[in-house]
A = this chain, B = another copy of it.
């Protein structure tokens, strides 16, 4: 049974049994030997909330896999405004684009929670790609998922109103991060970040959220977002 305890260059003492590589579909494709070589060469890095993992325009040679926490992946527009492209969580890959193309990063990534990443150096990833098709295929499927979501998002942002997009984004967050027993979204997100996901300004997003509250679709106690009528939200989102 492989656990990160076997990891060669364990630099952080955070690792415990909550975090197991074999929980992650991608790594299930590896043989015991490959796994051993991987762990011998990879590094587990932890990031405290709000710390930057990499920045647009920087070079980072390797692949990151999220083991724990949430990573915000975003781009800065011409006017300095953030556009959030996705939130990556356990099992998700980040930084693979510049790995494959040897270009500079075209996005930035920031820890949204206290986050633990698995960093695999470029030559190891490339070696695995060469020798293990299952691993490569799994990575390609992940890329496809992102492409599909990008295509959907481009169409939405070009054609839907802020109200529709906001409803849709709330439902996406609900699907990705889940809700607790009180129907409250598990991820805590600021209004500004929600606006930066939806592709609008904070004030507009707040206005729409207030509408949703007045229509009894949401409750908004403090920073929580509680779902009260998912069916109607889905109708508004027009998915």
Contact = CB atoms under 8 A, between A and B. Distances in A.
Nearest to A131: B133
B144 A154 contact: no
A103 B147 CA distance: 13
Contact of A152 (B75, B144, B146, B238): B75
A81 B159 contact: yes
Query: For chain A, which range describes its interface: under 10, 10 to 19, 20 to 34, or 35 or more residues?
Result: 35 or more
Interface string A153-184: 11111111000000000000000000000000
Contact of A136 (B136, B156, B158): B136
Nearest to A140: B100
Nearest to A153: B154
A106 B152 contact: yes
Contacts of A200: 158
Interface in A104-153: 106-107, 129-130, 133, 136-137, 139-141, 143-148, 150-153
A159 B79 contact: yes
A92 to B, nearest CB: 14
A83 B141 CA distance: 24
A45 to B, nearest CB: 23
A50 to B, nearest CB: 21
A13 interface: no
Contacts of A83: 154-155, 158-159
A87 to B, nearest CB: 14
B77 A159 contact: yes
A153 B200 CA distance: 15
Interface string A77-101: 1110101010000000000110011
26 contacts: A75-B151, A75-B154, A77-B155, A77-B156, A77-B159, A78-B159, A78-B160, A79-B159, A83-B155, A83-B158, A85-B155, A97-B148, A100-B137, A100-B141, A106-B148, A106-B151, A107-B151, A136-B136, A139-B140, A147-B150, A153-B154, A154-B154, A157-B157, A157-B199, A158-B200, A159-B199
